[in-house]
Structure 1
Amino acid sequence: MKILQKYFAAEIGRSVIFVLIAFLALFGFFDLIAELKAVGHGGYKIQHALLFVLLSMPGYLYELMPIAALIGTIWALSQFAARSEFTIMRASSMSTGMAGMMLIKIGMVFAITTFVFGEFIVPISSSTAGKIRTLNQGGSLSQEFRSGLWTKDLIRANGKDGEVIGSRFLNVRTVQPDGKLLDLKIYEFNRNFHLTALITAATANYVGDNTWNLSDGSEAAFGETQLMGATVASDITTAISTKKFASKPLISEVTPEILSVGFSDPAQMSAYDLVNYTQYLSENNRETARYEIALWKKIVYPFAVFVMMALALPFAYLHFRSGGVSLKIFTGIMIGVSFQLINSLFSHVGLLNTWPPFATAVLPSLLFLLAAIGTLLWVERH
């Protein structure tokens, strides 16, 4: 069985790698054509377009791995069936369960590769690709918003820790690719949602340890007690104190990583980042469903490799006379495309209908796994 396992692994491995290279070359070619339209705008040159396309490849590899595993396995198993090798293997006491176990062992390599790319490589390469495009085209991350970027934060008694004593809303006109904030406004409220301070700053630089350095700004403090007791306009004026500052520290749970999430596709974020951002949204009483679904999809997606390889196994039982290899490959492509479409569809439908995030993420793979089991039982009986 060890020799047979190595033979399966070699044939399927070569086929999957070939399919991956073909897909990546195709998608890279189309992306490069699309990027050529932007070449010449600002400082965006052909080398930047090539680098952008190159850094986009890990994301495509992550998305296409289950489809490549399906098509590559179908190709290898169809070749076994066409050469009657699979029939000889079965006659030599290889059961369907044994064939399935061999595919699971091979699939573990592809599943681990998918996990590593999705968790460690894709978030970095996608972020870098976006920065290369934005920096060289002279743009900023939030220029598309009419009023800038809005986010919410909690005010704690001891800065980062301690009891929550209020909340603040941050409005940033522009977020630069290096994380620098321009034209910042901060509205601070107490626990009774009374406005206590309005802070403006021309720039804000992150210095680490949840601390921002605000520059060239002003702060208007509103005395709640004096305002509530004000009876004439002069009382209101006295209750409001305004001062300017050249530099001022601001301790906040909001970091450049959290701000960048607002411009990132959740599918390209790591599970670690999704957990942290979901926790941040939950603490600030904001909607988390979209990111929870993305988190569960990130966890479940590597297992889709096993589902796709299970769908490929019945093709080994179809002899060459049941259809040419090209027809089987075409069928595999259609199954892979259907899986991607249904997986994406369930994310949107689950979000609209407030389905449990785990169920939304796992249902497409479960449906295709049941289809694989049903198809395998059918071909064995016939």
Structure 2
Amino acid sequence: MKVLHRYVAREIIGAVIFALVAFLALFAFFDLIGELPQVGRGNYQLQHAFLYVTMGLPGYVYDLMPIAALIGSIYTLAQLAARSEFTIMRASGLSTGMASWMLARVGIVLVIVTFLFGEFIAPTTSAMAEKWKLQAQGASVSQEFRTGLWTKDVIRQNGLTGETIGTRFLNVKDVTPAGRLQNVKLYEFDRDFHLIAVVTAAYADYQASNVWRLSDVTETSFSTRLSDITATISTKTLPTRDLVSEITPNILSVLFADPDRMSAYGLATYTRHLAENNQTTERYEIAFWKKVFYPFAVLVMMALALPFAYLHFRAGGVSLKIFIGIMIGVSFQLLNSLFSHLGLLNTWPPLATAVLPSMMFLVIAIGSLWWVQKH
């Protein structure tokens, strides 16, 4: 039985890799076509476009792995059925449960690979690709916003710890690819939302441990409410000033990143930051739970492929079965994306929004397997 497991696993993995490479080539071609109009902008040349597209491929590996697993499994099982090998396996004592476990063992390996790409490889390469592209074009990541980048922070008594004593709004005109903040403005309020200080700086560089170093600083302080006729205003200039903030370069990068390209850890960190600042978190919570459960969609897709092994070749050629597999995979991706938007619009529980598409297809897989066994 071990020899049989190795044989089937080798066939499935080979077919999955072939399907995945075919999809990656197709998506890379379309991405390269989309990048061509930007070639020549600044120092962005054709080789930069090739590099940018290549760095985006790990993200597609993560997205396409369930579909590739489905198509590869259907192709392998259909071929085994066409050559009557699967019939011989069943006659030799291979039960449905054993066949399911045989696929599950391969699926677990693919789940681990998908998780590694989604959690570590794709977020890193996607961020590097965007950084290199901006550097080549000589652009900054916040130029598309008319008033710059806005974000919210809390002011604590002892820096990062202690009681919350106020709220800070940060406005940045530009963020360079290297992470420097340019034309920085800080608006600080007390707990009653009375303006207590306005700080401007030419630029800010991240040091470490949640510390930003502001340069060419002008600080205007208000001793009481602005509406109070007795309010006193004082202004001072400083060459540098350190600012302790919960906002880090990683959090700022989230504002420009696609949540589906972030790691689960990054999503959890940013969701916690939003919750502490009383901001909506639903979009990032849905993305977090999708990131957690999406790799297991590989197992669901392979479960959908198993009934094809029980269909005799005359019930449909291998090409037809592969076409059906592609349609199932595309339907899963569309439904998964649709549920994300519906969950966000209808405020569904993020966990349920992320899990429901996979659960629906798992029920279909179980029902299909029961049907082919009965007929």
Q: TM-score range by the shorter chain?
A: over 0.9
Question: Aligned residue pairs: how many?
Answer: 375
The 5 Å alignment of 1:204-353 reads 204-224=204-224, 230=229, 235-236=230-231, 239-353=232-346
Aligned to 1:68: 68
Cα shift readout 1:325-361 (whole Å, capped 9, x = no counterpart): 1100000000000000000000000000000000000
Q: The residue matched to 1:37 in structure 2 has which SS?
A: helix
Aligned to 1:3: 3
What residue identity is the alignment partner of 1:42?
G
1:16 paired with 2:9, answer no
What residue identity is the alignment partner of 1:336?
G
Structure 1 Cα separation of the partners of residues 217 and 2 of structure 2: 71
What residue identity is the alignment partner of 2:8?
F
Structure 2 Cα separation of the partners of residues 76 and 21 of structure 1: 16
Structure 2 Cα separation of the partners of residues 361 and 79 of structure 1: 33
Structure 2 Cα separation of the partners of residues 213 and 83 of structure 1: 69
Following superposition, the deviation at residue 113 of structure 1 comes to 0.0
Aligned to 1:162: 162
Structure 1 Cα separation of the partners of residues 34 and 154 of structure 2: 42
Structure 1 residues 364 and 229, CA gap change in structure 2 (3 angstroms): closer
Q: The residue matched to 2:331 in structure 1 has which SS?
A: helix
Aligned to 1:139: 139
Structure 1 residues 348 and 228, CA gap change in structure 2 (3 angstroms): closer
Following superposition, the deviation at residue 217 of structure 1 comes to 2.5
Q: The residue matched to 1:43 in structure 2 has which SS?
A: coil
What residue identity is the alignment partner of 1:164?
T
What residue identity is the alignment partner of 1:220?
T
Q: The residue matched to 2:162 in structure 1 has which SS?
A: strand
Q: The residue matched to 1:224 in structure 2 has which SS?
A: coil
Aligned to 2:152: 152
Aligned to 1:374: 367
Cα shift readout 1:122-174 (whole Å, capped 9, x = no counterpart): 11000001111111111111111111111111111111211111110011111
TM-score for the superposition, normalised by structure 1: 0.96
Structure 1 Cα separation of the partners of residues 24 and 275 of structure 2: 38
Structure 2 Cα separation of the partners of residues 111 and 194 of structure 1: 52
Structure 1 Cα separation of the partners of residues 228 and 319 of structure 2: 83
Cα shift readout 1:203-240 (whole Å, capped 9, x = no counterpart): 11111111111111211100017x6763xxxx44xx00
Aligned to 1:49: 49
What residue identity is the alignment partner of 1:282?
A
Identify unmatched segments of 5+ residues in structure 2: none
What residue identity is the alignment partner of 1:269?
M
TM-score for the superposition, normalised by structure 2: 0.98
Cα shift readout 1:350-377 (whole Å, capped 9, x = no counterpart): 0000000000000000000000001111
1:203 paired with 2:203, answer yes
What residue identity is the alignment partner of 2:326?
I
Q: The residue matched to 2:38 in structure 1 has which SS?
A: coil
Cα shift readout 1:161-194 (whole Å, capped 9, x = no counterpart): 1111111001111111111111111100111111
Aligned to 1:59: 59
Structure 1 residues 228 and 341, CA gap change in structure 2 (3 angstroms): closer
Structure 1 Cα separation of the partners of residues 29 and 275 of structure 2: 41
Q: Which structure 1 residue ranges, 4+ long, deviate > 6 Å from structure 2?
A: none
Identify unmatched segments of 5+ residues in structure 1: none
1:360 paired with 2:353, answer yes
Aligned to 2:121: 121
